Structures are given as structure tokens and as C-alpha cells.
Amino acid sequence: MDMNCPICDRQLQEIDGGGHCESCNQDFRLEARCPDCHQPLEVLKACGAVDYFCQNGHGLISKKRVEFVPVAQ
């Protein structure tokens, strides 16, 4: 997965559950966002499967459509 640093726009090094920017020395986690309204999705975990739910009326979002955005942690 290609991710760029939201601060300096360099490519992030992939780490467990997110990314790391060497030039900012900053770790990022991936946040799931709705592809329609770009708001954070509620993550529902059930029996090993993960569902993503938009609370702004877009309902369940399949994982293929989810936008993963790096956010500073």
C-alpha cells in the first residue's frame, strides 16, 4: 500500500498498522474514512471479520471502498 506523509508528502515506510515518516520522525496510524463523505467510519469487529459503517447515512462500506488516511498519533 502506498501512503504519503500528510505533513511533508514523502512516501511513508510501512509499519504495523500504519506508517512512519523518516523525515518528520512521526508515526501515523491508518484511519478508515467513508469514500462518499470522507468522515471517519465506525469499525465493527465481529467473528474475525471487520465491517466499516458510515454514521452519515452511507451505511456499511465494503473494505475495498474504504479510504485509509494516515493520521498522526
Q: Where on the chain is the footprint of Zn ion (CB under 5 A)?
A: 5, 7-8, 21, 23-24, 34, 36-37, 54, 56, 58
CA distance 73 to 64: 24
Give the nearest distance from C-beta 5 to Zn ion in angstroms.
Answer: 3
Measured from the CB atom, the residue of 37 and 43 that comes closer to Zn ion is 37
Give the nearest distance from C-beta 50 to Zn ion in angstroms.
Answer: 17
Give the nearest distance from C-beta 30 to Zn ion in angstroms.
Answer: 15
For residue 60, CA distances in Å to 21, 28, 36 come to 31, 25, 12
Measured from the CB atom, the residue of 17 and 39 that comes closer to Zn ion is 39
For residue 37, CA distances in Å to 4, 12, 53, 70 come to 21, 25, 12, 17
